[in-house]
Amino acid sequence: MEELLRLLAEDAPGSELARAAGEDSVARELALRIRAGIDASKKREAELTTLVDVARELASARDPGRVLDTIVHRARTLLGTDVAYLTLYDDARGDTYMRATDGSVSAAFQQVRLPLGAGLGGLVAETHKPYWTADYPSDRRFRHTTHIDQAVGEEGLVAILGTPLIVDGAFVGVLFASNRTRRPFSREEVSLLGSLAALAAVTIVQVRAAAETAAALDQLSKAHAGTEHAAAAHDRFADIVLSGGDVDAVAAALAELLDVWVVLVDAVGNELAVAGSPGRAAVPWQESESGRLTRIGDCWVVAATAKGERLGALVIGGVDDLSGADRRIVERAAVVTALVLLFRRQAAEQSQRAQADLLSDALSGSADPRTLTDRLRLIAPSRHLDRLVVAVCRGDHSGVLARLTAPLEDKLTLTGPYAGDLVLLFASSDRVKVAGELTVVARQTGVTIAVAGAAAWGSELIAVHRQAARLVATMQRLGRTGQAATPDDLGLAGLVGADHADIAAHVDHVLGPVIGYDAQRGTDLTGTLRAYFAAGQSPTRAAEALHVHPNTVQQRLDRITVLLGDGWLHPDCALDVQVALRLQATLG
């Protein structure tokens, strides 16, 4: 047995483990099962690492053709198939067409079009669900057509796996991996190709948006042809957009090009970027409503609008006059700024939708936990999933996220609406601290917030969310709206609503300061509390039971008030204290 353990620790292959086990079949089977588990874990880790590398590679690609070639090449490499290919959806014709292949040799196959519902790929496109087969030519689940079967036959494909490319509910295309011999596809391989498809779909949409932006900038340049200075400005702004630059880069470029100071504000006047030295100059951002540059006092103002919506305004100063070419540069900068702000908002909305979908799947328990973990790693790769605090916000929660302070924002792992509530998951093991920081948010917004946990990702998280949902309903029934609380904060009501009550933790939450004081000072305030309640909250009768003077009992009660707070004798709180005393006695 020691030899088997040594070989396992040294990562020995299965053949060596089998030889070391000898005639002991039980030890051999156990060792080989452990070896298989280690190999599966390593394979999963390698696949996840590869997906992260693919995400970086796709993020750096700007050419649409290169992006698609990268996707199919990575799909073929990840699954180890003979061929990988990708079809895109043609909205005008209502079908999909071949756009990129890797490993294909047939010209006919590389030009095939798939009507919705026809063949495996057409079924994926029609249902937006993955399908796979080990033997496509003889598989009767799919509607075979002569045109598609001839193309597949010329390529020699037998086993095919297809998964949809979807972004924000919109169908983009289908990603395939296929073999020229019979081959079953495991659910792990289906999940892996699905994760790659999710990355691919987002990247395709982003690259399309960047190409459309470049085209818009090119049209803008043609419409406002001017000096070499204006052409240089166009190139500078185009580089910023195509390289993924933000509004601060636009402001800095404009300040440098015109030797001015620049302030960019959003639609309600919040400062987004500053370049140059505006000093304490007033920024009349609200006085410009059009995309034309306007002189207002010592400043020049132009609104940044997109689709008829005002997204912000550019204010420049430090210059007495602007030439016609320079004015067009500023207006062009406003157009670019609007595009960048629009992309920023769309990216934020996409991220929120992705988080909401993942959170819904995680809390409903309707998806494979490993697939959910992979999706979460792509959204929040640096987060720990072993301890998560759940916060359920009920009421008008539209302003909750905007009021989170920096410490809470740093811990926020996932958020989204679920069952009419706003649910937030924090990477933390201290629910009391999270609830304390959310108290200000609850008071500012009037939202009722229940905080439970911490829990690990998976079934434990589902149970803790249910506890938090019950807790927030109890808080509303008790009139504790506009507050944040943990189960312990509700005393007996919170204890009753818990799936698995931690009695010792609850006792410590209610009586901890008194118990700690007794331990440090050698006093018996806890005993005084028992006698006080046993005497019907009469200090005189409690003094008789304790054989001390009534003034002594009163002094002890005053000390308890300092430790527990002024409200501990309120009927609700007094009940919680009595229950905690009973529970403490039960625990011994």
Domain-located, residue 355 = no
pLDDT grade for 129, boundaries at 50, 70 and 90: very high
The reply to whether 400 and 435 lie within a common domain is yes
Asked if residue 180 and residue 152 are part of one domain, the reply reads yes
Q: Residue 37 CB: number of other CB atoms within 10 A?
A: 10
pLDDT at 52 over 50: no
Q: What is the CATH number of the domain that holds 247?
A: 3.30.450.40
Question: What is the chain's mean pLDDT, rounded?
Answer: 78
Distance separating alpha carbons of residues 318 and 332, to the nearest angstrom: 19
- Considering the domain architecture, whether residues 193 and 90 belong to the same structural domain is answered as yes
Q: Please indicate, yes or no, if residue 116 is contained in any of the structural domains.
A: yes
DSSP 308: T
Q: Which has more pLDDT, 98 or 339?
A: 98
SS3 sequence of 4-23: HHHHHHCCCCHHHHHHHHCC
Boundary (domain end) residue, out of 207, 234, 249: 207
**Residue of higher predicted confidence among 312 and 40:** 312
Residue 402 to residue 381: CA distance in whole angstroms = 23
As a whole number of angstroms, the distance between CA 32 and CA 82 comes to 30
Under 8 Å CB-to-CB from 81, ≥6 apart: which residues? 75, 103, 159, 161, 177, 178, 179, 183
Q: How confident is the model at residue 379 (pLDDT cuts 50, 70, 90)?
A: low
Residues 539 and 455 in one domain: no
Residues 68 and 10 in one domain: no
Q: Which helix (H) or strand (E) holds 102?
A: strand 95-102
Nearest-angstrom CA–CA distance, 5 and 137: 48
Q: Which residue has the tokens 């309120």?
A: 570
Q: What is the DSSP letter of 168?
A: T
Q: With respect to residue 134, please indicate whether it lies within any of the assigned structural domains.
A: yes
pLDDT tens track for 333-353: 888 888 777 777 766 666 677
Q: Per the domain annotation, does 359 fall within a domain?
A: no
Of residues 385 and 541, more confidence is placed in: 541
The residue ranking higher by pLDDT, 123 or 44, is 123
pLDDT grade for 54, boundaries at 50, 70 and 90? low
Burial of 41 (C-beta count, 10 Å sphere; 0-12/13-18/19+): exposed
What is the predicted pLDDT for the residue at 523? 87
List pLDDT tens digits, range 66-94. Answer: 778 888 888 898 889 999 999 999 988 99
Confidence band (pLDDT; 50, 70, 90) for 112? very high
pLDDT at residue 50, as a whole number: 52
Asked if 69 and 102 sit in the same domain, the reply is: yes
Residue 331, domain member (yes or no): yes
Name the strand (E) or helix (H) holding 256.
helix 247-258
Q: Which residue has the higher pLDDT, 395 or 272?
A: 395
State the Cα–Cα distance between residues 18 and 14, nearest whole angstrom: 6
Q: Let me know if residue 375 belongs to a domain.
A: no
**Cα-trace Rg, the chain:** 33
Q: Are 266 and 294 contained in the same domain?
A: yes
Are 494 and 468 in contact, with CB atoms under 8 Å apart?
no
Percent of the chain scoring above 90 in pLDDT: 19
Confidence check: pLDDT of 43 > 60: no
Answer yes or no: do 492 and 507 share one domain.
Answer: no
Q: Are 75 and 201 found together in one domain?
A: yes
Element (H, E) at 356: helix 324-364
Most confident of 52-61, 142-151, 196-205, 353-362: 142-151
pLDDT(363) > 70? yes
Of 295, 325, 345, which one is at a domain's C-terminal end?
345
Query: In the structure, what pLDDT confidence band is assigned to residue 244 with cuts at 50, 70 and 90?
Result: low
350 in any annotated domain:
no
Q: Torsions phi, psi of 498, nearest 5?
A: -85, 145
End-to-end CA distance of the chain: 44
Q: How many domains does the chain divide into? A: 5
Q: How far apart are CA 569 and CA 40, in angstroms?
A: 59
Question: Which residue from 113, 111, 104, 186 is spatially nearest to 145, judged by alpha carbons?
Answer: 113
Lowest mean pLDDT among 272-286, 331-345, 551-565: 272-286
Domain carrying residue 266: 224-345
Question: What pLDDT is recorded for position 376?
Answer: 73
State mean pLDDT over 373-401.
78
Residues 316 and 390 in one domain: no
Give the pLDDT mean for 324-337: 81
Nearest-angstrom CA–CA distance, 36 and 54: 27
Distance CA 419, CA 468 (A): 13
Query: Per-residue confidence at 225, pLDDT binned at 50, 70, 90?
Result: very low
Q: Note whether 322 and 383 are within 8 A (CB).
A: no
Question: Can you give the pLDDT at residue 154?
Answer: 94
Whether 11 and 21 share a structural domain:
yes
Element spanning 273, H or E = strand 271-275
Specify whether the CB–CB gap between 466 and 409 falls below 8 A: no
Do both 44 and 65 map to the same domain? no
With a cut of 60, say whether residue 41 has pLDDT above it: no
Q: For 141-193, write each residue's pLDDT tens digit.
A: 999 999 999 999 999 999 999 999 888 778 889 999 999 999 999 888 888 88
Distance CA 500, CA 460 (A): 11
Given its phi and psi angles, is residue 406 left (phi above 0), alpha (psi -120 to 50 degrees) or beta?
A: alpha
| Residue 223 scores a pLDDT above 50 | no
| Residue corresponding to tokens 């079009």 | 113
According to DSSP H, which parts of 61-111 are helical? 64-79
Please report which confidence band the pLDDT of residue 557 belongs to, taking 50, 70 and 90 as the band edges.
Answer: confident
Check pLDDT > 80 for residue 34: no
**CATH code assigned at 413:** 3.30.70.270
Mean pLDDT of 351-366: 78
* 363 domain-assigned: no
H or E stretch including 147?
Answer: helix 146-155
Domain boundary (25, 41, 59) is at: 59
